[in-house]
Structure 1
Amino acid sequence: MAMRIPLCLPSVGAKEERAVVAALRSGWVAPAGPQLDEFESRLATVTGRTHAVAVSSGTAALHLALLAQGIGRGDRVAVSTLTFAATVNALHYIGAEPVFIDCDEAGLMEVEALEAACVDSLATRRPIRAVMPVDLYGRPADYPRIGQIAAANGAVVISDAAESLGASLGGAPAGSFGEVAALSFNGNKIITTSSGGAVLCSDPETAERVRYLSTQARQPVVHYEHTEVGYNYRLSNLLAALGLAQLERLEEILAIKRSHYRAYDEALTGVRGMRVLDAADGNCWMSVLIVGTESGTDAWSLSDSLLRRGVETRPVFKPMHLQPVHKGCDRRYITGRAEELFRTGLALPSSTDLPPEDRSQVVAEIAALIDEAVGV
């Protein structure tokens, strides 16, 4: 059956078209220009930082964030196991060793497991140099406690805020936590630049280091001269123009995403063992359904049935410690919660432009399939 209700499409229209065309006609098409400068300035303001460096992807942002904090080959980094592969791929780019930390019931880094990992690492004289929490599906991790644990053990905090632009924790915006944070503007994120990301920090030296590395580590001389390896990671001015137009719509987009979450939560939580993953003060980028045993089915079977009815869903991220590429990894700080969420969780259609009637149809299809499963 043709896909009638997709999972999460970008919301772009006439406003974004005008912005990109204006940048194109200005002649600023390279990774430099007024739109890029303004995009970075506004990002810093929105996230409570003094500096933002826009780059080609969220993965590039994570890579540069690690390098700027001096993390390198052989360094051990505590990282959320429940995440997209890019978080851990960035560690492998620099030869660092991931130490996988399981999650709590909300899917966020479990602070008790993190603390145990840090204490054990000090005892074995192989300290954890950095902690990389992930703001899963747009909800910030417990940064106050994570920050305390990291500081007590001599580690820096690098926030993977790829999914959480517009969220908050204790009144502070997502992206403001840790020594440095990374955003993503991939096509399905809260705002998009087609492909893109940003490194956020409040230290001018860190910002300058990130900017330098992202532009091939070119020395400030007339001729091309390089004293170290750099990367072609800067965001183009054209894509920054798209990002600016999207950023102007951020509050509108957030309101719609949160309305999706409230509608799903009110309609589905408590129905035959189901619940919608608590979003707290997150941005509700994706609404996630947890399918309990009382439903008479399982998440993957429900997903297959919904797909046959033209509704796209997606399982919660497969934990990194289960990925074949990480076979043989240390599992001492794995409790089983991430595996449970992978087994029971489904991301529901959450496009910004999802019509309310389509959202109601998703709920109706789920209800009908659950009734069928329990023989009602």
Structure 2
Amino acid sequence: MEPDLSGNEKTYLIDAIDSGWISSKGKYVDQFEKEFAAFHEVDYALAVSNGTVALHLGLVSLGIGKGDEVIVPNLTFASSVNAIIHAGATPVLAEVDAETYNIDCNKLDQYISSKTKAIMPVHLYGNPCDMDEICTIANKHGLLIIEDNAEGLGSTYKKKIAGSFGDVSTFSFYGNKTITTGEGGAILFKNQKTFEYAKVLRDHGMSPDRRYWHEHIGFNYRLTNMQAAIGCAQLEHIQDILQKKSSIVKRYVDGLAPIGSIKFQKTEAGSLSSNWLFTPLFKNVSTNDLSQYLHKHGVETRPAFYPISTMPVYSDFKKGGYDVSESVSKSGLSLPSFPTLKNSEVDLIIAAIKKFYD
């Protein structure tokens, strides 16, 4: 998946290098944080070194740790679960919805116990979760919300941007994400005190008023000025990136819909997906065979995520059956959807899939 580097990335990067501030000091870190917060219409943003540490720092800054449980969807990238474990808490794997691939809100109550501290909705492949229902359940039980928006930058839920619902919300800027800083991440905060605490923890727990005096046992989770410079340039054309990806997905859907055994990820009414990855469900065929067939025709694909519950290293965190997440994983296959993909290339991929089915 190729990032779209069609703006001022080189100009800003060279400026950051010429300034002499190449590490975590420099104007672009502050600029990126302010612009990122403004894009989401929130007050507090913190740039960090990647999306996984964003989750970890967000959890720790909220006081989540040993003895706490965090509900997380069973179908997600492992970093969602790993961050909970590294924070000292226990992940509780929740089943997903067959249509949206997101956490099944109708089953959430069964995972809540006296130890539950938070819910971590994941906007899988950029598709927004049912945040109204998640917020209702969280409020009912006094739970925090850690919104994992690594894949959903630019998505909207009922005209409100994804990443603006959680007590903390986290993002990834890895090379294949909607915007990239190479490696990088960010956290948005609702509460100023939580933000300020996280900011101190991000920089070794060092006092902001007394240099080299450490008030907390912290981390080195900082983003460099050079990475932030690239992020600022990427933000300048994020709407163009989102529009291109939306157009690509629409072309795929229009072309593949006549094949009745292909299902598409459903988006909640009134919501818009960022379309980070286009991942249909290919029924009645082997996705491994389809992937190999497309590879022979020069088309790169990737499998859907494995359910966390199927991997032995996470066996202690199972809570019942996960038929839906296993079914989605088995039949899901992500097709190329990077914003520089040409219409003619999409059409060739569609034609190859039709030929495979024929």
Map 1:267-306 → 2, pairs under 5 A: 267-279=255-267, 280-293=271-284, 297-306=285-294
Provide the secondary structure at the position in 1 that maps to 2:171: strand
1:27 to 20, 23, 30: 20
- Measure the CA separation in 1 of the matches of 2:7 and 2:138: 45
Map 1:1-376; keep pairs closer than 5 Å: 8-13=1-6, 15-104=8-97, 105-118=99-112, 121=113, 126-279=114-267, 280-293=271-284, 297-332=285-320, 334-371=321-358
TM-score by length of structure 1 reads 0.91
1:318-371 CA-partner distances (Å, limit 9, x unpaired): 111111211243232x44111111000111101111111111111111111111
Find the aligned partners of 2:167 and 2:209 in 1 and give their Cα distance: 30
- Give the letter aligned to residue 354 of structure 1: L
Counterpart-to-counterpart distance in 1, 2:234 and 2:208: 33
Distance between the aligned counterparts of 1:49 and 1:223, measured in 2?
29
> How many residues of Structure 1 are paired with residues of Structure 2 in the alignment?
354
TM-score by length of 2: 0.96
State the one-letter code of the partner of 1:341.
V
Instruction: Name the CA distance, whole Å, in 2 between partners of 1:109 and 1:103.
Output: 4
Aligned-partner Cα distance in 1 for 2:211–2:252: 58
- How far residue 60 of structure 1 moved from its aligned partner, in angstroms, is 0.8
In the alignment, the residues of structure 2 paired with residue 326 and residue 254 of structure 1 have an alpha-carbon distance, to the nearest angstrom, of 34
User: How far, CA to CA, are the matches of 1:223 and 1:128 in structure 2?
Assistant: 37
Q: Provide the alpha-carbon RMSD of the alignment.
A: 1.3
**Which sections of structure 2, spanning at least 5 residues, go unmatched?**
none
Paired with 2:92 and 2:232, the residues of 1 have a C-alpha distance of 36
Aligned-partner SS, 2:13: helix
Contact kept? 1:78, 1:131, Cα under 8 Å: yes
AA aligned opposite 1:327? S
* Structure 2 residue matching 1:130: 3-state secondary structure: strand
**Does the Cα contact within 8 Å between 1:55 and 1:234 map onto a contact in 2?**
yes
Equivalent position SS for 1:341: helix
What whole-Å deviation, never above 9, does each CA across 1:238-285 have from its counterpart, x for those lacking one? 100000000001010001000111001111124141122234511111
- CA displacement at 1:223 relative to structure 2: 4.6
Change (3 A) 1:184 1:329: same
Q: Distance in 1 between matches of 2:216 and 2:166?
A: 27
1:144 deviates by 1.1
Q: What is the alpha-carbon distance in structure 2 between the residues aligned to residue 274 and residue 67 of structure 1?
A: 41
1:288 alignment partner, SS class = coil
Q: Compute the displacement of 1:166 (Å).
A: 0.7
Contact 2:42 2:164 in 1 (8 A): yes
Matches of 2:335 and 2:294 in 1, distance apart? 10
AA matched with 2:198: V
What's the offset of the Cα at 1:221?
4.9
The residue identity in structure 2 corresponding to 1:351 is F
* Aligned mates of 2:168, 2:263 — CA distance in 1: 33
Q: Deviations over 1:134-175 (max 9, x none)?
A: 000111111111111112112101100111111100110011
- In the alignment, the residues of structure 1 paired with residue 262 and residue 209 of structure 2 have an alpha-carbon distance, to the nearest angstrom, of 61
| Equivalent pair of 1:59/1:87 in contact (CA under 8 Å) | yes
* Alpha-carbon distance in structure 2 between the residues aligned to 1:163 and 1:32: 27
Q: Which runs of 4+ in 1 moved over 4 A?
A: none
Task: Rate the CA distance shift 1:270–1:113 in 2: closer, same or farther, 3 A.
Answer: farther
For the 8 Å contact 1:48–1:175, the answer to whether it is kept is no
SS in 1 for 2:317: coil
**Percent identity (aligned):** 37
